Amino acid sequence: MRSLFHGKEHLAPLPHSIDILRSLIGGTLSILILILLSKLTDNLFIMAPFGASCVILYAVSQSPLAQPRNVILGHFVSAFIGLIFLKIFGVSAISIALSVGCAIAAMQILRCVHPPAGANPLVILLTANSIQYEWSFLFFPVLLGSIALVLVAWLVNNIKTDKKWPTYGLAFIHSKKPNE
């Protein structure tokens, strides 16, 4: 425990300036677009976990956690589970905790783990007393908001870089075998 505070470990290297600038622009543009879409359409396109998604989309964009499948399906699956728990079991300590655990397990089974999406059941169940959640929440903001994030990330993450993003897309129809 003592070494935790004495700095004997090595920090991750400082990112290149262009990568920091890309994160600044990408995170700002992503959230701004979601806010503007919400105002222009009178539909909600933004929710708090999308801020954390931006961290992953721009700061560690080559990670499997930052790929379109993980962002879009991870958010969708987790929000779906949150809504199921809300509609069937209501809000209780056990339903809140179990909904998060089920969301994590479902993302693992479906191979779409995206850590910020693990907050979706929490957002839904912890705010259910002040917000009336309908199934349309899965489309506005969850599905369309996460798609918008991925589209902005595609644009920003491919500016002035040799590392093209995404590493893989949605992989709905075909998934390569490890040796392909």
Q: Is 110 exposed, middle or buried (0-12, 13-18, 19+ CB in 10 A)?
A: middle
Q: Is residue 66 part of a domain?
A: yes
pLDDT at 120: 98
pLDDT band at 1 (very low <50, low <70, confident <90, very high): low
- Across the chain, mean pLDDT equals 94
Residue-range definition of the domain harbouring residue 97:
17-30+48-158
pLDDT at 174: 67
Q: Is residue 178 part of a domain?
A: no
Against a cut of 0.85, is the pTM above it? Answer: yes
Please say if the pLDDT value at position 2 is more than 90. Answer: no
Q: What is the pLDDT of residues 140-150, one digit of tens each?
A: 999 999 999 99
DSSP letters, 99-168, are HHHHHHHHHHHTT---GGGGGHHHHHHHSTTTS---GGGGIIIIIHHHHHHHHHHHHHHTSS-SS-S-SS
pLDDT band at 176 (very low <50, low <70, confident <90, very high): low
Q: Is residue 98 part of a domain?
A: yes
pLDDT at 89: 98
Q: What is the pLDDT of residues 56-107, one digit of tens each?
A: 999 999 999 999 999 999 999 999 999 999 999 999 999 999 999 999 999 9
Q: Is residue 10 part of a domain?
A: no
pLDDT at 11: 86
Q: What is the pLDDT of residues 120-142, one digit of tens each?
A: 999 999 999 999 999 999 999 99
Give how many domains the chain has, as a whole number: 1
Could you tell me how far CA 163 lies from the centroid of its own chain?
21
Q: Is residue 84 part of a domain?
A: yes
pLDDT at 178: 61
- Which residue matches tokens 């918008």? 148
